[in-house]
Amino acid sequence: MIKDKFNRTYSYLRVSLTHRCNFSCNYCNKINNPIKELNTPQLIDIIEKLIKLCHIEKVRLTGGEPLLREDIDYIIYRINRNVDNIGITTNGYFLKEKIFSLYKSGLKRINISLDSLNRNRFKKITNTDHFNRVIDSIMLALSYGLKVKINSVLVKGLDHKEIDEFIRFSQLYGITIRFIELMPFSNEYASKMFLPSSYVIDYIEKKYNIDKKYNEGVAKIFEIQNAKIGFITSVSTPFCSSCNRLRLTSDGKLYRCLFDKNYLDLSKSTDNFNELIKNYLYLKKEKHNIDYNSKVSNSIRVIGG
Ligand code: SAM
């Protein structure tokens, strides 16, 4: 088991399968120089070495849009040989075409991004008019028995009526909604549009009886009459002290943190793979020290959200 200076272990691997995306969300920074993705055998080789070395128990495939990676089903099948707990994070657009092969390859968990339940607001945030298609994908994933969660980035413009609708949506379909605080990857937008989770929490605590509150992974969950509403507050209340995440990019770079400037390039084969990783992880900082006015140079599409 590998530990860093602060005794943290790394059992959760997040892989960005591609930086490419078919949506153009306001909060996601654009990429000027496309990166050269590793081919699938190269990527799988690195993933399998990391799984073995770090005793990885959970893998999430993300991006960019991971369903744009043609062979995502084969990648899931290979990871599934060693790790049961495997999920993807997707905008849902391509699910209709892909769901059968994803399901057959062993996928059990899917997080689908849905920033608004209002079609016009969805369009304004994502710059696409695919609201109906995303809702259909959520229903399709449920019909396959997948464990579905919704990711919804908190941005100004979310009103009380829509919060009520999200709660009803969660009750009706048994889906956890996770509100994610805006991170400063697209600087001006983040500082202008940041909406703290306290805006939603204050409202639901006043209006509803909260049955239970607890932490589930990095999310703080509020249960309200069979609705599960979560909050991920990476910037306002970071969870660095318990962070167990490693991040691998599609060009083979390993990051210890979404906001870390230093990475380890694993794209070239090396004899001292294990030593390099041990040393790199050992030196991870205690905290990321980012706030929502910070200038983050990394791209969330490249590192994977
Ligand atoms: N394309 C996929 C999707 O839309 O879910 C996966 C990649 S996306 C980068 C992963 C998650 O990160 C999404 O739920 C997205 O909403 C979230 N995300 C992207 N940029 C963000 C930001 N600046 N702050 C907070 N969350 C962000």
Q: What is the pLDDT of residues 194-220, one digit of tens each?
A: 999 999 999 999 999 999 999 998 999
Provide the percentage of residues in the chain whose pLDDT is more than 90: 86
pTM: 0.96
Question: Cα 5 to chain center, whole Å?
Answer: 26
CB atoms within 10 A of CB 23: 17
31 has pLDDT over 90: no
- Bridge-based pairing state of the strands 147-154 and 176-181: parallel
What is the C-alpha to C-alpha distance for residues 15 and 88, in angstroms, rounded to an integer?
Answer: 9
CA distances to 4, 141, 144, 215, 275 from 95, in Å: 38, 8, 12, 29, 39
Which tokens belong to 32? 């000027």
Question: Cα 9 to chain center, whole Å?
Answer: 19
Least Cα distance to 301 among 55, 107, 20 occurs for 20
Predicted confidence band at 293 (pLDDT cuts at 50, 70, 90)? confident
What is the C-alpha to C-alpha distance for residues 305 and 152, in angstroms, rounded to an integer?
Answer: 12
With a 6 Å cutoff on the Cβ, whether 65 touches ligand 1 is yes
With a 6 Å cutoff on the Cβ, whether 137 touches ligand 1 is no
Bridge partner list, 18? 63
Predicted local distance difference test score (pLDDT) of residue 203: 98
Please compute Rg for the chain using Cα positions: 19
245: amino acid identity, one letter: R
271 has pLDDT over 90: no
Predicted confidence band at 186 (pLDDT cuts at 50, 70, 90)? low
What is the C-alpha to C-alpha distance for residues 87 and 304, in angstroms, rounded to an integer?
Answer: 13
**Which residue do the tokens 């993705």 mark?**
37
Bridge partner list, 282? none
* 177, containing H or E segment: strand 176-181
How far is the centre of ligand 1, averaged over its atoms, from the C-alpha of 14 (Å)?
Answer: 13
Annotate 160-179 with b (16+ C-beta within 10 A) or e (fewer).
eebbeebbebbeeeebbbbb
Instruction: Report DSSP state, residue 195.
Output: -
134 has pLDDT over 70: yes
How far is the centre of ligand 1, averaged over its atoms, from the C-alpha of 305 (Å)?
Answer: 5
Strand ranges (DSSP E) for the chain? 12-18, 58-63, 85-90, 109-113, 147-154, 176-181, 212-216, 219-224, 227-232, 245-248, 253-255, 264-265
Ligand 1 pocket test, pick from 21, 27, 191 with the greatest ligand atom count within 8 Å of Cβ, gives 27
How far is the centre of ligand 1, averaged over its atoms, from the C-alpha of 28 (Å)?
Answer: 7
The residue-averaged pLDDT of 132-146 equals 98
How far is the centre of ligand 1, averaged over its atoms, from the C-alpha of 54 (Å)?
Answer: 26
**Which residue do the tokens 């400063």 mark?**
184
Of 47-51, 184-188, 267-271, where does mean pLDDT reach its minimum? 184-188
Predicted local distance difference test score (pLDDT) of residue 187: 64
Which tokens belong to 21? 């995306």
Predicted local distance difference test score (pLDDT) of residue 235: 83
Provide the percentage of residues in the chain whose pLDDT is more than 70: 99
Evaluated on CA atoms 245, 251, 253, 259, the torsion sign reads negative
